[in-house]
Amino acid sequence: DARVTQTPRDKVTEMGQEVTMRCQPILGHNTVFWYRQTMMQGLELLAYFRNRAPLDDSGMPKDRFSAEMPDATLATLKIQPSEPRDSAVYFCASGLGLSTDTQYFGPGTRLTVL
Amino acid sequence: AQTVTQSQPEMSVQEAETVTLSCTYDTSESDYYLFWYKQPPSRQMILVIRQEAYKQQNATENRFSVNFQKAAKSFSLKISDSQLGDAAMYFCAYRSAWGQGGSEKLVFGKGTKLTVNP
């Protein structure tokens, strides 16, 4: 049963610390999306990649957030330094990169910044 | 920019009954995709059903069906024979089709919390 995996599932950290979230897309998927879910803003795209190259990162705060794909099986989202307003659930989703594509979501990482 | 509106923050239904969740969207594009995702307390986002805008036929998946009204920009989800396991947040989402010049991102509504009463 192919699925997107994300680690850690939950993360509690203190303000100012670096946070790294990891995502393993479904094998064979070449498009990876990062979304953030908060009570106030709902679900919003942060960035997405195709074949490891960023296509749209307009939703990501550039001063503290960075997203990369070191290889085709790993996507990372880093926050440095973290702030309380970054507390949210961060979802990774992957797709085949087709025009008819459906995005399949991972279980999310719940981040709490104290 | 596209927007998605879910006007019902909460809905409830009796087990075995039918419930309809509403969704409207705003776009100037002619080709796009619409989705319903389910988010149970486990927080996993699960695809329920999808609809291609160029298809007139409404999509169905077992007990789940949609009423897609393109001219009215309406995309409602009907759940028949509701089960306790259907209790969750339901999100309506929009995605531009390729060639429309837009992003491939999903644009989500705020969600509808569905409670199923035994």
Query: A22-57 pLDDT, tens per residue?
Result: 999 999 999 999 999 999 999 999 999 999 998 888
Residues B75, B25 contacting (CB under 8 angstroms): yes
For residue A79, give the nearest of A9, A1, A22 by alpha carbon.
A22
Across the interface, which of A103, A107, A108 has its CB nearest the CB of B106? Answer: A103
Residues of chain B with pLDDT under 50: none
Minimum distance, in Å, between the CA of residue B42 and any CA atom of chain A: 8
A81: pLDDT strictly greater than 90: yes
What share of chain B in percent tops pLDDT 70?
97
pLDDT value at residue B101: 60
Residues B109, B23 contacting (CB under 8 angstroms): yes
In chain B, what residues touch A35 (CB-CB under 8 Å)? Answer: 106
The C-alpha atoms of residue A47 and residue B114 are separated, in whole angstroms, by 30
| Beta-carbon separation of B106 and A45 below 8 A | yes
In chain B, what residues touch A44 (CB-CB under 8 Å)? Answer: 108
pLDDT value at residue B75: 97
Residues A9-34: b if buried by 16+ CB within 10 A, e if exposed = eebebeeeeebebbbbbbeebbbbbb
In chain A, what residues touch B50 (CB-CB under 8 Å)? Answer: 102
pLDDT value at residue A31: 92
Sign of the Cα pseudo-torsion (B92, A59, A88, A72, in order)? positive
Task: Give B8: exposed, middle or buried? Use CB within 10 Å, 0-12, 13-18, 19+.
Answer: middle
φ/ψ of residue A84, rounded to 5: -55, -35
A99: pLDDT strictly greater than 80: no
